[in-house]
Amino acid sequence: MPIDALVQYIENIPLIILIPHILTFLVLLIGSYTDIRTREVPDWVNFGFIGAGFGINLLFSVIYWKINFIVASIIGFGIFFILALVMFYAGQWGGGDSKILMGLGAMIGIDFFPGNFFLAWFLINALIVGALYGILWSIVSIIKNKKKFLKSLKKNLSNKKVMAIKKLILALFAILALAAILTPDNIARLILLYLAFISVITFYIWIVVKSVESACMLKYVLPRQLTEGDWIAKEIKIDGKYVTGPKDLGIEKKNIKKLIEFYKKGKVRKILIKEGIPFVPSFFIAYIITLIFGNLVFLLI
């Protein structure tokens, strides 16, 4: 597209669409950079994004004298808040990932009546892009930490509990495969074979994921290097009292202060934390794809 035509196209886009999308683009770009560089998105970016989303939509409601802008913003924030909360407590996203999605919901909003499905398409694209992004990140991590990964994989495969699960999975595979051979119905045979192979594949994917996590995503840091929301990989007790651990789903500032004090007293040294995959860049990619192509599923079909 020629530059003049592009400029003219952008000039014809209403401000109520252009401004939220420009701000979203910039926030996701900044968030992607900080997430890759430091494994976190600053709170001023996240909370500023949420506040700006509500503020801009409230302003549009006043200017155009239509309540649907702020209502759409509240609905978008609410839906993404619930989704982010579920993913956070499921251990799939960190606090920064969750907050930036809430901001996206508040900024773009969800208005059911005009049939604006942008955020719905974004979520579908984010699932597809996120899965591919996670696989690619894991492959790169395995290549960079090949020796540690192979050592971790060997250790996990020789674990007694894992070996017991492996025997059960292989027994399940044999039963399903035998049932598939004996059944006369072709569709039933295909379903049974699918279940047989998927059970084995899922087991080994689980082992690989555990190995990647222990070999590539765990590291020791000093208490002063901790930031709010860091995932503590191993339970910490001082003088028999619990301070923090994996069940906290991210360390709080008050516990970081405690650990720094305990470090000064020589009661604690380095802390084992889990570094998650920086998922904000996958949101940014999904956002760009949604802007350009819409729903990826429709495009692929």
For residue 88, give the CATH number of its domain: 1.20.120
State yes or no: pLDDT of 193 exceeds 60: yes
Residues 82-127: tens digit of each pLDDT: 888 877 766 666 667 788 889 998 898 877 666 667 888 888 888 8
Residue 277 per-residue DSSP state: P
Q: Mean pLDDT across the stretch 178-206?
A: 84
Residues 102 and 133 in one domain: yes
- pLDDT of 215-257, one tens digit each? 777 788 888 888 777 778 788 888 778 888 777 767 778 888 8
**Shared-domain flag, residues 11 and 133:** yes
| Residue 197, phi then psi, degrees to nearest 5 | -75, -40
Same domain? 197 vs 256:
no
Contact call for residues 35 and 278 (beta carbons, < 8 A): yes
pLDDT for 214 beyond 90:
no
Domain count, the chain: 3
Length of the chain: 301
Parent domain of 254:
218-274
Cα(185)–Cα(166) distance, rounded to whole angstroms?
29
Tokens 């996958």, residue located:
282
* Domain shared by 29 and 133, yes or no: yes
pTM above 0.75, yes or no: no
Question: Are residues 65 and 17 both part of a single domain?
Answer: yes
Are 165 and 109 part of one and the same domain? no
Residue type, 218: L
Mean pLDDT of 165-193: 86
Pull the structure tokens for residue 157: 């495969």
C-alpha 160, offset from chain centre:
31
Please state, for a pLDDT cut of 70, what percent of the chain lies above it: 89
Which helix (H) or strand (E) segment is 179 a member of?
A: helix 160-182
pLDDT in tens, 25-70: 999 999 999 888 877 788 888 889 999 999 988 988 888 888 888 8
Q: Are residues 243 and 205 in the same domain?
A: no
Domain limit, last residue, from 216, 243, 259: 216
- Residue 271: beta bridge partners? 221
Are 22 and 84 part of one and the same domain?
A: yes
Same domain, residue pair 57 and 111: yes
Rounded to an integer, what distance in angstroms lies between the CA atom of residue 237 and that of residue 240? 6
> How far is the C-alpha of 62 from the C-alpha of 93, rounded, in Å?
35
Give residue 16's pLDDT: 62
Banded pLDDT at 285 (limits 50, 70, 90): very high
**Is 226 found in the same domain as 295?**
no
Supply the pLDDT for residue 91: 61
Distance CA 18, CA 29 (A): 16
CA–CA dist 132, 298 (Å, integer): 18
The Cα–Cα gap between 139 and 223 comes to: 30
Residue 4's pLDDT is 53
Separation between Cα atoms, residue 109 and residue 116, nearest integer Å? 9
120 in the same domain as 24: yes
CA triple 59-64-65, angle to 5 deg: 90
Q: Are 50 and 296 in contact (CB under 8 A)?
A: no
Residues 48 and 91 in one domain: yes
Q: Is 177 exposed, middle or buried (0-12, 13-18, 19+ CB in 10 A)?
A: middle
pLDDT digit string, tens, across residues 140-149: 888 888 888 8
Residue 284 pLDDT: 93
- Could you tell me if 16 and 61 are in contact, meaning their C-beta atoms sit under 8 angstroms apart? no
Asked if residue 85 lies in contact with residue 98, where contact means CB atoms within 8 angstroms, the answer is: yes
